[in-house]
Structure 1
């Protein structure tokens, strides 16, 4: 049997081969001998989910020269830099290549059940070509592909590339110092803080902050509880470039005004690094350079269990970036800043942080416990998505009792979840139910009233964090513009962290808006959203007809993946079929999807 692997956006050519589509769904025109890899992955999601988390753990535990990789990357007595690498963090990012890895595992499984003789590979990805080429060599089968993607005998970069990465890493140190020169570090306070709260400098009303009022979508509802319980809070915000705060200095001015006028404490985490921190960062960086040399044979470990696929070509660039590139310096500076900041603070009984399991959070957990502070609560501010692998680990590295982060993954004392979806997924992954606490969804309490409001008639399209996915949704939705009624409007709300131009969308006759979702839901009856959007779940709770658009280039990241009545579409025809008349009654669900109660009893109990 001959196999055609088709990694294209257009329909595959007519052939008598078995066709495996890399990033397309099957259509009514697909032949019986056509398999969609995205559909196959979704059909066997639990198996591939477990296999990949096991694979990531195996890499960290793999032994090279009588030491595990985690031991080679140990930079503190009880902390391994492994947890700060991009690979170990299983980040949700277009460049993470996790989707390609999972699809390759699915491909191998499909081929193992068939008697195949050759593969014709049509792809523009050099990395996929490398993996499949080596796999065919292992299987002693024929591969036909574009000659420009000839297999390389090894995965090492030329010396010039390595030194280029090291040079760029040193530039980051210089740039970071001058960018944050006027950003004051968190001082040793005169009075003890009852609680420290760490978040991103996003979803903040900047104009209100300049006037001394702290209005945050993350925390505003919590502030009265802190005041009533006389908890003196210190706020530490990680810098995120935005239109109103494009630089560290601009963000510092906003936080300084907020602190001075309101007599509160707001600081930027990304502060001017001390000489000690800079020196230690350089020392740790060159230790990582040496460690990369010691684990130079790690590519041999990137073969999952019971597999012949070597997945290292997919992750080689981010591995190099994590160990000897600018990312290494960013992460080491963050670690050093966390340690210095928290070491000079008096004992703080409670810490809260927005939990997304990013590398800076691993540094925070280590520094917090090393400094002897109290319980640290990871606040999962949005329902967890099944395929967001940042929240999942192999059971071998999960421990809520140990602070030995050279072996176990850093984790908070308590996981605060605002949805039964998150609780179920965490418990299924091996997290003890005893350290999971239900809290009200602070950002979504407006839904208590939105579900009761009259249903509008407009159509709302939500943008994605990634521009490519937004463009796909707009392309699929264009035929709707020909069918809308004269009294209907199609609105588009960009993702708050996507700053790309929307001019092309406006030219289609779609009105772009930055209004709050609560206002837009009042006007709308139908909401079209990326499958990964939390806005889709909000719209569903607000009694809107929600249509989630699947993207075959990735996995189903929807938080509504197992919600009864959720609608997922893959093409324009399915979208036009899915849109129904304005609903007239509220949805009925057997259980709430978010914990909603404006009295916030769960939060009061947690912080008592």
Structure 2
């Protein structure tokens, strides 16, 4: 993985903090920072080592997820079928593998890399500066496995902005959180409840998506239009369609009443029926959800019985301390109760609708998707297609699995096929090992606009930087920290056009900027900018390069490089403020316009979609 230039003492020091490292040691490994490439040779960054060894580490993570699942599902003490043939493991966050920090997958990759580094450098003593108690336990376990001396030094993070809600959730007993979830979900269902306006017809098509990303036209004409499905909605105008929407984060009474009113207007369409899945409520749904949660809670006691399942069979490392908190949340707390409700709501819905000839859903490996797939099969509806609606990125593990998961004996719920929107997604999925026989191509509904929109390159001075932040706080902090350092050095050289993610309210950034609406489409601002500066998580990089706008993406040391154009020469990637300055000085060289047709299927007549849907 990585060989230190000098490691004669056999001592490795890990600096697990986002503050500057002031310690002196022969070999230092930065855990939350990138190292200056022109700095001390004795200092390396585990974040960069992950990038350099990405394929090996991704494979190890997917292997561990499979091994944990196999262990949990085959051990009578941990196995729990919420229904016959459906193990609850499929609905845990660990199986869903989101790229949020709470999922700990980035730390998992770093720990796998560390294990190899310790052996390669013949380390005899490991010293760790960290404030993370769970992570420190895994460090200690690795040292024990390799029989090396271990010492931990507690540190304090420089960034401590934890919301009140997160703190309350952290210290509230999980049963109380489950009760809170039940009350909140009941309120949601009651607020959304409507009498069905029409009878669902047999042999129609069901779409499952989110109550989110509606087109701007919805606010004026009150007719359903979606960024997810774009032109396909119009093409299905004469087809019997059922739209099943899942709420995203709408929870206030005002938001729920607005959703209910909009839903009523959507249902004026003569052949399309719209329902919000979260509105499904009955005495049976509530009772079964409470019973399912109670059984789940009992099955999870004591929690330590899961620990052996998290021992990696290849290295002997016990990763249980890293995943314990989120695992028990999935079995006992708020998330557990919500999962039980989701399962029973979908069971109530899918068991009562007439036979459906086709199901189409947005595939993101969410817990509700696992339940939906199982129930779709159980109640003998026909073909089911998962739609990879955006890009398929190297480190987005939600669509990827260990190769053993595709054996004929595999019981993991998965659709009949995945619909991808072009060469970019298809190539990524195939390289990850997904069976080619289960991949079909359709048009890129979310990217049809790329064939029309082109940015006009500005040439005036100072340069205007369009800054697009991400919903992950760590990614936004890393991105803005580099920008603050650059603007401080060159205060008159740049103008900043800041577009925060719609879920963020940015404060206390240390530069002057014009803040624009986070809910407007990013491409709306391209003609005002000289360069797009974004995180390595967002897919906005696609819109930039296809419009001829130079793009700089900032890596976050706390998360993976999730850029859809990872390792593509048309995009500049920066880790430090020095690299950002260099990239900004070279933007004219990176204004190459990428043909979107090389990445996506963009035929606006949608022949592939029509073939798949039989319309």
- TM-score by length of structure 1 reads 0.89
Aligned mate of 2:193, from 150, 172, 184: 184
Q: Secondary structure at the match of 2:360?
A: strand
Partner of 2:229: 219
Q: Secondary structure at the match of 2:191?
A: coil
CA shift for structure 1 position 51: 0.7
RMSD between superposed Cα atoms in Å: 2.9
CA shift for structure 1 position 54: 0.6
Q: Secondary structure at the match of 1:143?
A: strand
Partner of 1:493: 499
Partner of 2:414: 411
Task: Answer yes or no: is the 8 Å Cα contact 2:545–2:594 preserved in 1.
Answer: no
d(CA) in 2 for partners of 1:167 and 1:243? 19
Task: Answer yes or no: is the 8 Å Cα contact 2:188–2:278 preserved in 1.
Answer: no
Matched, 1:437 2:440: yes
d(CA) in 2 for partners of 1:330 and 1:285? 9
Equivalent positions of 1:88-127 (< 5 A) are 88-127=95-134
Matched, 1:208 2:218: yes
CA shift for structure 1 position 484: 8.2
Task: Answer yes or no: is the 8 Å Cα contact 2:465–2:497 preserved in 1.
Answer: yes
d(CA) in 2 for partners of 1:516 and 1:246? 25
Task: Answer yes or no: is the 8 Å Cα contact 1:4–1:119 preserved in 2.
Answer: yes
Matched, 1:131 2:155: no
Partner of 1:84: 91
Structure-2 change in CA distance of 1:185 and 1:363 (3 Å): farther
Q: Which region of structure 1 is more displaced relative to structure 2, 511-520 or 90-99? A: 511-520
- TM-score by length of structure 2 reads 0.88
Structure-2 change in CA distance of 1:27 and 1:272 (3 Å): same
Gaps of 5+ in 1: 150-160
Structure-2 change in CA distance of 1:490 and 1:147 (3 Å): closer
Structure-2 change in CA distance of 1:68 and 1:62 (3 Å): farther
Q: Which region of structure 1 is more displaced relative to structure 2, 303-312 or 577-586? A: 577-586
d(CA) in 2 for partners of 1:127 and 1:577? 38
CA shift for structure 1 position 125: 0.7
CA shift for structure 1 position 65: 8.6
Equivalent positions of 1:557-568 (< 5 A) are 557-568=562-573
Q: How far does the alpha carbon of each residue in 1:404-457 deviate from its partner, in whole angstroms, 9 at most, with x for none?
A: xxx522111221111323212322333221221111211111111224x53345
Structure-2 change in CA distance of 1:606 and 1:481 (3 Å): farther
Partner of 1:599: 605
Matched, 1:524 2:529: yes
Partner of 1:375: 383
Partner of 2:167: none
Task: Answer yes or no: is the 8 Å Cα contact 1:541–1:593 preserved in 2.
Answer: no
Equivalent positions of 1:576-595 (< 5 A) are 576-579=581-584, 580=586, 582=588, 586-587=592-593, 592-595=598-601
Aligned mate of 1:23, from 21, 27, 32: 32
Matched, 1:198 2:208: yes
CA shift for structure 1 position 47: 0.7
Matched, 1:574 2:579: yes
CA shift for structure 1 position 321: 0.7
Aligned mate of 2:477, from 453, 471, 474: 471
Aligned mate of 1:54, from 58, 63, 66: 63
d(CA) in 1 for partners of 2:73 and 2:230? 49
Structure-2 change in CA distance of 1:510 and 1:576 (3 Å): farther
Q: How far does the alpha carbon of each residue in 1:333-384 deviate from its partner, in whole angstroms, 9 at most, with x for none?
A: 1011111101111111122111111111111111222222221111111111
Aligned mate of 2:18, from 1, 5, 9: 9
Equivalent positions of 1:134-533 (< 5 A) are 134-146=141-153, 164-184=173-193, 187=196, 189=199, 191-192=201-202, 194-205=204-215, 208-209=218-219, 211-227=221-237, 230-241=238-249, 247-260=255-268, 264-293=272-301, 296-398=304-406, 408-451=411-454, 454-456=456-458, 458-478=464-484, 479-480=486-487, 489-496=495-502, 498=503, 500-505=504-509, 508-514=512-518, 515-533=520-538
d(CA) in 2 for partners of 1:42 and 1:123? 22
Task: Answer yes or no: is the 8 Å Cα contact 2:523–2:543 preserved in 1.
Answer: no
d(CA) in 2 for partners of 1:584 and 1:52? 34
Partner of 1:538: 543
Structure-2 change in CA distance of 1:56 and 1:564 (3 Å): same
Q: How far does the alpha carbon of each residue in 1:233-291 deviate from its partner, in whole angstroms, 9 at most, with x for none?
A: 12111112359986434322221233247774221110142111122112222221232
Q: Secondary structure at the match of 2:567?
A: coil
d(CA) in 2 for partners of 1:190 and 1:294? 45
Q: Secondary structure at the match of 2:176?
A: helix
d(CA) in 1 for partners of 2:202 and 2:269? 20
Q: Which region of structure 1 is more displaced relative to structure 2, 166-175 or 366-375? A: 166-175
Matched, 1:44 2:53: yes
Task: Answer yes or no: is the 8 Å Cα contact 1:48–1:106 preserved in 2.
Answer: yes
CA shift for structure 1 position 39: 1.1
d(CA) in 2 for partners of 1:591 and 1:209? 31
CA shift for structure 1 position 575: 1.2
d(CA) in 1 for partners of 2:73 and 2:101? 30
CA shift for structure 1 position 607: 1.7
d(CA) in 2 for partners of 1:482 and 1:66? 59
Partner of 2:164: none
Structure-2 change in CA distance of 1:5 and 1:213 (3 Å): same
d(CA) in 1 for partners of 2:256 and 2:185? 10
Task: Answer yes or no: is the 8 Å Cα contact 1:135–1:309 preserved in 2.
Answer: yes
d(CA) in 2 for partners of 1:508 and 1:411? 49
